[in-house]
């Protein structure tokens, strides 16, 4: 299934907070046999949220994750943006309201003179687009919902990574991500320049369009990642290794490796 993620937060766009949620969601989707096709980061603006979500739904994503902006303050406007994208009213979600009432009752029993927690503002966190289904996790108080939109599912998740990961593992994976086509994966490393295998990888991508081929330069080596159907991935891996071995055994390859080793060790020859 094709997926997308819309990360909401001025704090991410300003560089004050690092986006860990995209990495987590992408890695879990890959393990479960789904593909993250696009990730977008938008401001805490309902119009921008709605536009980004609508774009992914119009692109035919089977599931879209919208993360962040579910708190009680003025700049938490994600539910408003999602409702706008889906053309739905923003209404009280009974299950979310029940959770907030439990918290409010507990606070009231503490006999505070005033309202130091700001219980009144928590009621905002019970609002969700009409038709939303509250997601339940081991941390029951975390606000998160799922919405059906034609053949797609929209999952609205909290921004704090620990909360998002709890809801994702407890509710999203078993409820919406089972049955994915798990891909066969292989990794190959070599110490030649990345460009030395560029032509080979381009030809393999053309000959095996069902195999995802990635080349990633690291500090002292290059990592090639392959993903797809097992038989095709094994054949691509065999050809990549054969090309590496052929280059390594050639005079040019040996001279190139000597050149690279000298550069890596700080030599000038």
DSSP track, 51-86:
HHHHHHHHTT-SEEEEES--SSSTT--HHHHHHHHH
Burial level of 174, CB count in 10 A (0-12/13-18/19+)? exposed
CA distance to 2, 176, 182, 202, 268, per residue, from 224 (Å): 23, 31, 19, 13, 28
Same domain, yes or no, for 73 and 137?
yes
Six token digits for residue 229: 């159907």
For the chain, how many structural domains are there in total? Answer: 2
Residue 114 has pLDDT above 80, yes or no: no
Same domain, yes or no, for 25 and 128?
yes
Six token digits for residue 31: 């393990």
Same domain, yes or no, for 27 and 43?
yes
**What value does the mean pLDDT of the chain take?**
92
Using DSSP's 3-state secondary structure scheme, residue 184 falls into strand
Residue 178: how many other CB atoms lie within 10 Å: 9
Residue 268 has pLDDT above 60, yes or no: no
Which residues constitute the domain of residue 245? Answer: 184-264
Residue 81 has pLDDT above 90, yes or no: yes
Residues of the chain above pLDDT 90, percent: 75
Same domain, yes or no, for 102 and 205?
no
Domain end position, chosen among 116, 142, 176 = 176
Q: What is the CATH number of the domain that holds 108?
A: 3.40.980.10
Cα distance between residue 44 and residue 78, in whole Å: 7
Residue 225 has pLDDT above 90, yes or no: yes
Per DSSP, 110 falls in state: T
Six token digits for residue 166: 């709890």
Same domain, yes or no, for 172 and 188?
no
Residue pair 154/64 in contact by the 8 Å Cβ criterion: yes
Residue 269 pLDDT: 45
Lowest mean pLDDT segment, chosen from 27-31, 117-121, 183-187, 244-248: 117-121
Cα distance between residue 61 and residue 49, in whole Å: 16
Average pLDDT over residues 166-173: 96
Cα distance between residue 200 and residue 195, in whole Å: 10
pLDDT tens readout for residues 130-158: 999 999 998 878 889 999 999 999 999 99
Order of strands across the sheet that contains 35-42: 35-42, 2-8, 63-67, 152-157, 145-149, 133-134
Q: How many CA atoms lie within 13 A of 130 on its CB side?
A: 6
269, part of any domain:
no
Same domain, yes or no, for 48 and 166?
yes
């Amino acid at each position: 299934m094709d997926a997308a993620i819309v990360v909401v937060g001025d704090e991410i766009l300003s560089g004050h907070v690092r986006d860990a949620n995209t990495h987590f969601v992408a890695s879990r989707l890959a393990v479960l046999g789904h593909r993250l096709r696009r990730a977008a980061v938008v401001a805490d603006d309902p119009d921008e949220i709605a536009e980004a979500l609508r774009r992914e739904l119009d692109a035919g994503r089977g599931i879209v994750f919208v993360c962040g902006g579910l708190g009680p303050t003025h700049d938490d406007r994600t539910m408003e943006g999602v409702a706008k994208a889906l053309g739905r009213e923003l209404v009280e979600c009974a299950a979310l309201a029940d959770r907030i009432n439990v918290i409010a009752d507990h606070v009231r029993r503490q006999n505070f003179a005033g309202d130091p927690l700001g219980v009144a503002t928590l009621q905002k966190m019970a609002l969700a687009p009409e038709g939303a289904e509250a997601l339940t996790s081991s941390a029951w108080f975390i606000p998160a919902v799922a919405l059906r939109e034609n053949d797609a599912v929209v999952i609205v998740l909290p921004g704090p990574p620990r909360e998002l990961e709890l809801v994702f593992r407890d509710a999203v994976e078993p409820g919406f991500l089972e049955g994915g086509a798990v891909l066969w994966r292989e990794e190959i490393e070599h110490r030649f320049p990345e460009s030395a295998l560029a032509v080979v990888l381009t030809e393999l991508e053309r000959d095996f369009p069902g195999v995802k081929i990635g080349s990633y330069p690291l500090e002292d080596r290059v990592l090639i990642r392959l993903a797809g159907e097992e038989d095709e991935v094994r054949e691509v891996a065999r050809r990549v290794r054969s090309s590496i071995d052929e280059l390594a055994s050639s005079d040019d390859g040996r001279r190139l490796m000597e050149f690279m080793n000298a550069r890596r060790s700080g030599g000038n020859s």
